[in-house]
Structure 1
Amino acid sequence: MTIKPLIKSLSAIAGIGMVSIAAHAATTELTVYSAVEAEDLKKYAARFNQDHPDIKINWVRDSTGIVTAKLLAEKANPQADVVWGLAATSLMLLKNENMLESYKPKNYDQLSPKFKDTSENPVWTGMDAWMAAICYNTVEAEKLGLPKPTSWQDLTNPVYKGHIVMPNPSSSGTGYLDVSSWLQLFGEDKGWEYMDALHNNIGTYTHSGSKPCKLAASGETAIGISFAFRAAKSKKEGAPLDIVFPTEGLGWDMEATAIIKGTDKLEAAKILADWAASQKANEMYNEGYAVVAMPGIAQPVEYFPANAEALMIENDFAWSAANRDAILTKWQQRYDSKSEPK
């Protein structure tokens, strides 16, 4: 073989080797469980991959309650590497089951205290807050003669009978933040009395937190109890919605990130946890959420109230997590008959 063909052969072999190395470098795959809105998953992965193209995210996405139940069912044989975007109250349950890896992301100290596990060995980190809202379809309401509510108590008015849809708290994190916030706002006895009265007006309970607002946006119901992100998005898309932030205060939870204990991809999981707590990630969260974990980042979000954070109740997350099973059992016994089929 002459020198030129030899050089070409060696170059080709080297090229194949480089492609093989690059392919190998790009094959770190993380199984990531999430309850983030489905249409945002591609955006989250794409932004992360701008900085870390060598880590592929394989999403497993469902409503909060379903993801939480799946994680608990897999305790003995975890399938997830990371949780990115699940209610902090759910992660507190997993923490109590010793299912989460202790890890402080690089920007941990820059985050607001209310958005992080402040224990000595933290296992979860907050991302953003999602808060309750009422989606009121002005066109359908006018047809039906339904006044615009301004408070949670207004929704117990018999005029709304059959015209309200809300999420089932067993499957929806939004539904659970509603129920737990009413029990905190009104007290436990009065809170259950309130839900008894509200139940009389409920048309159906959905298994998704966003669905009540989507149904209101499309005119399939006049009123949907949902959350502000979905309400603002539907209104921006042109739906004839007024977004109501009830005067008593807004229940809320935070989306959070954690690493599942036992993952065999710990280093890649830490890289994702670091990025999820970064300034770049918080700026991304602020594209849809008015309140994010890193102070000084949040800019006003269209159709959110300017004082969004001030409307959020003093939420006792520890109480909400500790009493979750008992609250859901009681809720199901009283109200589950109106839930849509799964």
Structure 2
Amino acid sequence: MKTSFKAAKVFVLIALSFLISLSVQARGRLTLYCSVGADVCELIVRNFQKETGIKVAMTRKSSGETLAQIKAESSNPKGDVWFGGTGDPHLTASQEGLTYKYKSKHFDDLRPAAQQQAINGNYKTVGIYVGALGYGYNEDLMKSKGLPIPSSWDDLTKSVYKGHIQMANPNSSGTAYTTLATILQIFGETKGWEYMKKLHLNINQYTKSGSAPIKAAGRGENTIGICFQHDAVKQAKKGLKVKVVSPSEGTGYEVGSMSIIDGARNLDEAKIFYDWAVSPAAQTLIFTSGISLQVPANTKASADPDAPDLSTINLIDYDFQTYGNKKKRAQLLSKWDDDVSTIAR
């Protein structure tokens, strides 16, 4: 009798250990879709895993690609958190019911633009950084080709720059979609679309990633790259011959965002990551690393001393609600596909 009782006790202990092990495994994982630079994604994963013990499986894609993936997986979500990328597609995801409503415990410490992003998205997203749009150029290539230094958006449509400019495709890149939306807001929709057609004639390549054009300029493979200004500064910090331009007409900006994916398999871990990513400590870690030069959303966090000073940049009153609207976004992308990308150059 004692033997059978001991055996039963051992069996129960083994069963409990097995169940605890399964619970730990289930609660110790996170699938992260990351839309910032690969080096920044890796920094975030490495430090989050170290601080929490939660194992992260990370995939890096541009914001447009990630939005498309989350849509495709909506009936059986595989991701838990979408980190980074411009705010417009995050707002689109919130409107399409693809993301989960959650208000971080650090919300009150965030900049007004980051809080407004959350409000616009019914708390299904939140701002995590701010960055101004612009472009950069390779100094050596400009000199060797005898090109004038551009200072405005309008300059980029001049024929002298034909074949010397790269930008990303707005279907895959949040940077390029922000560019399109910025031009339409600065010049008005009628003149804005004419501008995009003129600019198209000077483009040598549409890249998938928003940072690719300025990286190519840094390597000497391209002359001018339309990008967020912090991406151009990042190339300059590497010692590359890249100069940053803040267009004289004014420019748009991004509120880089983060969202929990609706139906996340690891919801508890997703919330832990969400709070961690906007905490003062994590934001300081990310934005003083030397590889992420945006302005952090948390007002208690420190920024890189070389980050663009937004107070010196002529920022437009960017209409996030209009250009983050899913119908508006679809309409603009369709028009760009039909009326701009098809023009021979």
For 1:248 and 1:299, the matched residues in 2 are separated by 27
Q: Are the counterparts in 1 of residues 164 and 222 from structure 2 also a CA contact under 8 Å? A: yes
- Seen in structure 2, the aligned counterparts of structure 1 residues 333 and 301 have a Cα distance that, compared at 3 Å, is farther
Per the alignment, residue 179 of structure 1 pairs with 180
- Seen in structure 2, the aligned counterparts of structure 1 residues 155 and 100 have a Cα distance that, compared at 3 Å, is same
Q: Deviations over 1:264-313 (max 9, x none)?
A: 322111111111121112213423234221225344532x4434574332
- Seen in structure 2, the aligned counterparts of structure 1 residues 282 and 338 have a Cα distance that, compared at 3 Å, is farther
Per the alignment, residue 292 of structure 1 pairs with 296
Matches within 5 A, 1:250-265: 250-265=251-266
Matches within 5 A, 1:44-59: 44-53=44-53, 55-59=54-58
Q: Are the counterparts in 1 of residues 138 and 243 from structure 2 also a CA contact under 8 Å? A: yes
For 1:43 and 1:131, the matched residues in 2 are separated by 23
Task: Pick from 314, 319, 325 the counterpart of residue 316 of structure 1.
Answer: 319
Per the alignment, residue 41 of structure 1 pairs with 41
Q: Are the counterparts in 2 of residues 63 and 171 from structure 1 also a CA contact under 8 Å? A: yes
Per the alignment, residue 126 of structure 1 pairs with 127
Asked if 1:301 corresponds to 2:300, the answer is no
For 1:83 and 1:305, the matched residues in 2 are separated by 25
Per the alignment, residue 60 of structure 1 pairs with 59
Q: What is the root-mean-square deviation of aligned Cα atoms in Å?
A: 2.5
TM-score, normalised via structure 2 length: 0.86
- Seen in structure 2, the aligned counterparts of structure 1 residues 77 and 307 have a Cα distance that, compared at 3 Å, is closer
Q: Are the counterparts in 1 of residues 77 and 265 from structure 2 also a CA contact under 8 Å? A: no
Per the alignment, residue 29 of structure 1 pairs with 29
Matches within 5 A, 1:210-289: 210-287=211-288, 288-289=292-293
- Seen in structure 2, the aligned counterparts of structure 1 residues 309 and 263 have a Cα distance that, compared at 3 Å, is farther
For 2:304 and 2:311, the matched residues in 1 are separated by 9
Q: Are the counterparts in 1 of residues 132 and 252 from structure 2 also a CA contact under 8 Å? A: yes
Farther-moved stretch of structure 1 (304-313 vs 142-151): 304-313
Matches within 5 A, 1:186-225: 186-225=187-226
Matches within 5 A, 1:9-28: 25=24, 28=28
TM-score, normalised via structure 1 length: 0.87
Q: Deviations over 1:116-138 (max 9, x none)?
A: 31269511111002322212111
Q: Are the counterparts in 2 of residues 103 and 121 from structure 1 also a CA contact under 8 Å? A: no
Q: Deviations over 1:191-229 (max 9, x none)?
A: 111112211211121111111111111111211112222
Per the alignment, residue 78 of structure 1 pairs with 77
Displacement of 1:230 in angstroms is 2.0
Farther-moved stretch of structure 1 (94-103 vs 288-297): 288-297
Q: Deviations over 1:33-82 (max 9, x none)?
A: 121111111210122233212x1111121111111111111111111111
Displacement of 1:186 in angstroms is 1.1
- Seen in structure 2, the aligned counterparts of structure 1 residues 77 and 330 have a Cα distance that, compared at 3 Å, is same
- Seen in structure 2, the aligned counterparts of structure 1 residues 325 and 39 have a Cα distance that, compared at 3 Å, is same
Per the alignment, residue 332 of structure 1 pairs with 337
Q: Return the letter of the residue paired with 2:269.
A: A
SS of residue paired to 1:105: coil
4+ residue segments displaced more than 6 Å: 20-24
Percent identity between the two aligned chains:
36
For 1:41 and 1:260, the matched residues in 2 are separated by 18
Q: Return the letter of the residue paired with 1:291.
A: V
For 2:56 and 2:253, the matched residues in 1 are separated by 27
Displacement of 1:338 in angstroms is 7.8
Q: Deviations over 1:145-181 (max 9, x none)?
A: 1111111111111111111111111111110110001
In the alignment, structure 1 segments of 5+ residues that lack a partner are 1-13
Q: Return the letter of the residue paired with 2:144.
A: K
Displacement of 1:115 in angstroms is 0.4
Per the alignment, residue 3 of structure 1 pairs with none
For 2:122 and 2:332, the matched residues in 1 are separated by 28
Q: Are the counterparts in 2 of residues 300 and 306 from structure 1 also a CA contact under 8 Å? A: no
Per the alignment, residue 98 of structure 1 pairs with 97
- Seen in structure 2, the aligned counterparts of structure 1 residues 236 and 119 have a Cα distance that, compared at 3 Å, is closer
Farther-moved stretch of structure 1 (275-284 vs 177-186): 275-284
Q: Are the counterparts in 2 of residues 168 and 206 from structure 1 also a CA contact under 8 Å? A: yes
For 1:47 and 1:204, the matched residues in 2 are separated by 36
For 1:290 and 1:311, the matched residues in 2 are separated by 16
Per the alignment, residue 10 of structure 1 pairs with none
For 2:120 and 2:240, the matched residues in 1 are separated by 43
Q: How many residues align?
A: 322
